Structure 1
């Protein structure tokens, strides 16, 4: 494990090698061992190694909700933005393995959390939402869930909301126009999100 840690710690750009190693570890270990190892790796000072732990937990999460709980309660508090990016990927991995429609209660639970990192893990992790099973056939559900945070106090989250809705507008522009037409643009936070949704959009 020491060699793996040294190797991954040298990575400066991209997460693919870390994800590949996480999948290998997941396949070689029992669920209990994978969770135990992840908890140890989360204590590491290098974000690359904490990211490895998060990827492992993502692979485990649909099999054991302990992993999902660690992602929500511990990983969401990590100060590294890189780790938060992997949290989003890990949450999507959970939804993919568990089934997106079946995961709706958890998606809503995370979106209702007060921690913007937890909410963003959903809004960002499931991009492009309407390319995912269930949401592909139910774009209105995706739009409604994402839009709930259009006025969030967190700029970090609002950017993700705006970008996620802009993604959807490429195939469902009428639905997005219908949604944002009812927004109160005198609210600075909502207006901020609106600008991200309509960014690069040609004026008629």
Structure 2
């Protein structure tokens, strides 16, 4: 696997104009990410993959969180076809301290799944769900929302619920909240299915009870 490194000074100099323009454009976004995602798609459409990835690496090395989010979207566009891009998301982007970038990681992971196919992505989904970093686990639980609106999972909602249920006692409240919200999404259309799985849980564990409470509010309302 070819690793993507932060560009050296020569590479940075070669793409400085486009990088500076992208940083300026991205920094104008204060809410949402629609234009940042559009900018990423434009980079991919107008540059060869190696150049796009070099631009992304340069963007990610900046202090501007919007630029790092833009870089994350670019890596997401290539993650399904380039292992180094997926690796960068997994091992580098997930360590970024800015929550905006982590939202971008969730979207980028969903883009990866869409590219390779959601069923085909299940092994990587499982790998990320088992990762030691909560940002990696949350990228999956949050990125695929609404899970049952995605191909494969729309026909296999139990698979989605079982995958999410693996994190019912996750040590991170950040992750558990995402799991609860994702299950709550599913329960709006599959209340009986979600309820049947929740009944298997040991709610004497406060971490499990936390998610159960989040989801149960909706399942009761749906069934009522």
Bigger CA radius of gyration: 2
CA distance in 1, matches of 2:90, 2:199: 33
Is the partner of 1:25 in helix, strand or coil? helix
Q: Which moved more, 1:69-78 or 1:30-39?
A: 30-39
Counterpart residue number, 1:22:
40
**In 1, Cα distance between the equivalents of 2:39 and 2:32?**
13
Secondary structure of the equivalent of 1:199?
A: helix
1:78 counterpart residue number: 96
Unaligned runs of 5+ in 1: none
What TM-score does the superposition give when structure 1 sets the normalisation length? 0.97
The answer to whether 1:127 aligns with 2:132 is no
Alignment of 1:46-65 (within 5 A): 46-65=64-83
Return the alpha-carbon distance in structure 2 between the equivalents of residues 31 and 4 of structure 1: 17
Give RMSD over aligned pairs: 1.1
Shift, 1:7, TM fit? 2.3
Q: TM-score normalised to the size of structure 2? A: 0.88
1:43 corresponds in structure 2 to: 61
Whole-Å separation in 1 of the counterparts to 2:168 and 2:52: 37
Aligned length: 204
Match of 2:189 in 1: 171
The residue number in structure 1 matching 2:207 is 189
Instruction: List, as ranges, runs of 4+ consecutive aligned residues in structure 1 with deviation greater than 4 Å.
Output: none
Does residue 67 in structure 1 map to residue 85 in structure 2? Answer: yes
* Matches of 1:100 and 1:160, distance apart in 2: 19
Give a deviation string over 1:94-128, Cα, whole Å, max 9, x none. Answer: 10011111111111111111111111111100001
Structure 2 match to 1:13: 31
Whole-Å separation in 2 of the counterparts to 1:82 and 1:126:
17
Q: Structure 2 unaligned runs (5+)? A: 1-17
Q: Distance in 2 between matches of 1:151 and 1:196?
A: 13
Tell me, in whole angstroms, the C-alpha distance in 2 between the residues paired with 1:50 and 1:152: 28
> Per the alignment, in what secondary structure is the counterpart of residue 32 of structure 1?
helix
